[in-house]
């Protein structure tokens, strides 16, 4: 039977989910599992470190947030690098930084060195955001792209749960405090090492190879090999397009999209990371501070809340995203997450009532995952052209991680000055802003990446400019 003649984009857009996609989800998702573990384990570790080293609240907040600040730089740098030299050549570099940073953190002799190593880790974590999202988005078909990219992000839930389990195991075993927090931080090097191994076997993004490098034949060959022959077709040559950073940032359409993707992700991460990294502190304050095992109890309760509310939110969000709509799901999530924050803030004495508080806190978690925590990651990997897709996602993720840095650093301060209710009311305000900036974005569900980004129009325009220049260079008769 003769193979169909298709462009690489057409072949991927119409390909049904297969072993190729399943393998890609696992490989890309393992990076995000590692990211989540490293980012959220620190909230528990610093409660032990602060007591051992006699740290102030400001120093503790800096440890909690330094990785997120570094992620800002990592996302910007690696996001742009991947558009310049390719996704595959960049993919292993950031995973290596995560492994080195996590392992070195476990051997930190002082506060300064711990901050240095957590900063190195954060560079890698930031770089992994655009890599994992863009590669999976570019591997995906049109019909189920939201689900496939969402499942990569859902690995964050498993990484977070693993962090809670590791912390509970170590604390329940009454291991020496100094050894316990070092094991917590060093454990993150294990999945990072696995990521490095797995990613060596992944092919370059076929869309990047065909569209940016102009080699459709190699793109088709890579696809056939990695998919064990499931994706086999006769490639049609595609027009090569490379946008410079200046061209990308001077395009009004993409600037508007950046405001939508980076803005919504910034306000979400401020609220989410401020609450999540400080979750043991939040739950501990609701339970009270009596008893030797209050930290263990707080982590156990947080694990229960996250498992019951957040984990289902991740997977329901991924499963239903393409049916509901990527943008619409983000709006729904922002709205109900914000309402939960508001109710905690305005209901009298709710922060002193354990069950009502935990229920509302859990609902906020569910709609964070069944909404903007997942969709901000997905949307940022959809609306930009191939030659600037990683750049656009990297800028969005970097701005988001700066918001997360502010949230983690400022949340304890706001909580101290205005109480837990006041801190969550502020998070409600952030959710409202998130709704407004989300309205700037198109609905990507069931639309091809080329259609969303307007890449065909860009190529036509570029060809027209080249043709005009060519004609003007011809001698007149």
Cα 56 to Cα 71: distance, rounded to the nearest angstrom: 24
| CA distances for 349 relative to 58, 318, 356, 365, 403, angstroms | 28, 35, 10, 21, 29
- Which tokens in the block code for residue 22? 């399943």
Among 284, 433, 272, smallest CA distance to 354 is for: 284
Taking a C-beta distance cutoff of 8 angstroms, is the pair 25, 152 a contact?
yes
CB 124 within 8 A of CB 401: no
Separation CA 246–CA 256 (nearest Å): 15
User: Hey, which residues does 6 pair with through a beta bridge?
Assistant: 235
**Cβ-based neighbours of 213, under 8 Å, separated by 6 or more:** 86, 240
User: What one-character-per-residue DSSP string does 330-369 give?
Assistant: HHHHHHHHHHHHHHHHHSTTGGG-HHHHHHHHHHHHHHHH
Q: How far apart are CA 370 and CA 399, in angstroms?
A: 22
List the one residue out of 8, 68, 392, 27 whose CA is nearest residue 218.
8
Q: What is the pTM of this model?
A: 0.89
Q: Supply 318's token pair.
A: 């991924």
Q: Which of 123, 127, 121 is nearest to 100 (CA)?
A: 121
pLDDT tens across the length of the chain (477 residues): 446 788 888 889 988 888 888 988 998 899 889 999 998 888 889 989 999 999 988 898 889 889 989 999 999 999 999 999 999 888 888 999 999 999 999 999 999 999 999 999 999 999 999 999 999 999 999 999 999 999 999 999 999 999 989 999 998 888 898 999 999 999 999 999 988 888 887 888 999 999 899 899 998 888 888 887 777 778 888 888 889 999 999 999 999 999 999 999 999 998 887 666 555 556 656 666 554 466 787 788 778 888 999 999 999 999 999 999 999 999 999 999 999 988 888 888 776 777 888 888 889 889 999 999 999 999 999 999 999 999 999 999 999 999 988 887 777 777 777 777 777 788 889 999 999 999 999 999 999 999 998 876 765 555 544 445 445 555 554
Query: What is the rounded distance in angstroms from the CA atom of residue 249 to the CA atom of residue 243?
Result: 10
Cα dihedral angle (283, 285, 289, 295), rounded to 10 degrees? 30
Residues for the chain: how many in total? 477
CB atoms under 10 Å from CB of 454, counted, come to 18
Q: Which two tokens stand for residue 335?
A: 């709205």
Could you tell me where the beta strands, DSSP code E, fall in 22-157?
Answer: none
Q: Is there a contact between 361 and 305 (Cβ–Cβ < 8 Å)?
A: yes
Sign for the CA dihedral angle at 451, 452, 457, 458 comes to negative
Alpha-carbon distances of 116 from 55, 112, 124, 129, rounded to whole Å:
17, 6, 13, 21
Residue 127: per-residue pLDDT: 94
Distance linking the first and last C-alpha atoms of the chain: 53
Number of helical H runs and strand E runs in the chain = 21, 2
What is d(CA 441, CA 248) in angstroms, rounded to the nearest whole number? 17
**Sign of the alpha-carbon torsion through 377, 30, 121, 66:** positive
Task: Please tell me the predicted confidence (pLDDT) of residue 466.
Answer: 46
Alpha helices in 439-477 (DSSP H): 449-453, 455-473
The answer to whether 438 and 334 are in contact (CB under 8 A) is yes
Rounded distance, CA 228 to CA 428, Å? 48
Angle (CA) 75-79-80 rounded to 5° is 125
Which residues, including other chains, have CB under 8 Å from residue 461's CB and lie 6 or more apart?
A: none
Domains and their CATH numbers in the chain:
7-205+250-473 (1.20.1250.20)
**How far apart (Å, rounded) are the C-alpha atoms in residues 20 and 238?**
23
- Report the pLDDT value the prediction gives residue 327, as an integer from 0 to 100: 98
Hey, what are 173's tokens? 């075993």
Residues 318 and 25 sit within 8 Å (Cβ to Cβ): no
pLDDT score, position 98: 95
Nearest to 251 by CA among 466, 458, 463: 458
CA atoms within 13 A on the CB side of 162: 20
Please give the pLDDT value at position 473: 53
């Amino acid at each position: 039977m003769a193979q169909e003649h298709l462009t690489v984009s057409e072949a991927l857009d119409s390909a049904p989910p297969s072993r190729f996609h399943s393998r890609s989800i696992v490989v890309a998702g393992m990076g995000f599992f590692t990211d989540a573990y490293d980012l959220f384990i620190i909230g528990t570790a610093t409660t032990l470190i602060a007591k051992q080293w006699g740290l102030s609240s400001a120093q503790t907040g800096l440890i909690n947030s330094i990785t997120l600040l570094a992620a800002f730089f990592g996302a910007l740098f690696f996001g742009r690098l991947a558009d310049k030299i390719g996704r595959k050549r960049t993919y292993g570099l950031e995973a290596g930084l995560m492994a080195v940073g996590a392992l070195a953190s476990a051997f930190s002799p002082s506060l300064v060195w711990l901050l240095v190593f957590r900063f190195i880790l954060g560079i890698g974590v930031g770089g992994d955001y655009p890599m994992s999202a863009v590669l999976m988005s570019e591997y995906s078909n049109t019909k189920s792209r939201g689900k496939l990219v969402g499942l990569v992000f859902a690995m964050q839930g498993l990484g977070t749960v693993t962090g809670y389990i590791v912390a509970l195991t170590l604390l329940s075993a009454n291991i020496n405090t100094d050894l316990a927090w070092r094991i917590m931080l060093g454990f993150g090097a294990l999945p990072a090492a696995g990521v490095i191994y797995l990613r060596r076997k992944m092919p370059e993004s076929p869309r990047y190879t065909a569209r940016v490098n102009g080699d459709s034949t190699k793109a088709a060959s890579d696809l056939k090999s990695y998919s064990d022959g499931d994706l086999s077709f006769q490639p049609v040559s595609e027009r090569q397009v490379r946008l410079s950073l200046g061209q990308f940032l001077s395009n009004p359409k993409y600037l508007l999209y950046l405001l939508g993707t980076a803005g919504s992700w910034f306000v979400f991460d401020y609220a989410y990371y401020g609450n999540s990294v400080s979750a043991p502190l939040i739950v501990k304050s609701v339970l009270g501070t009596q008893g030797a095992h209050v930290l263990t109890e707080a982590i156990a309760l947080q694990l229960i809340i996250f498992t019951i509310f957040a984990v289902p939110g991740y997977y329901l969000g991924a499963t239903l995203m393409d049916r509901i709509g990527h943008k619409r799901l983000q709006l729904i999530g922002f709205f109900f997450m914000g309402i939960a924050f508001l109710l905690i803030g305005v209901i009298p004495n709710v922060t002193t009532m354990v069950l009502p508080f935990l229920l509302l806190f859990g609902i906020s978690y569910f709609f964070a995952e069944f909404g903007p925590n997942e969709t901000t990651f997905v949307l940022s990997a959809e609306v930009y052209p191939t030659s600037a897709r990683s750049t656009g996602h990297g800028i969005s993720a970097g701005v988001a991680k700066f918001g997360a840095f502010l949230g983690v650093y400022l949340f304890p301060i706001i909580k101290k000055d205005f109480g837990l209710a006041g801190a969550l009311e502020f998070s409600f305000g952030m959710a409202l802003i998130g709704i407004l900036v989300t309205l700037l974005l198109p609905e990507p569900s069931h639309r091809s990446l080329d259609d969303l980004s307007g890449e065909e129009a860009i190529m036509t325009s570029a060809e027209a400019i080249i043709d005009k220049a060519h004609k003007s260079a011809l001698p007149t008769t």
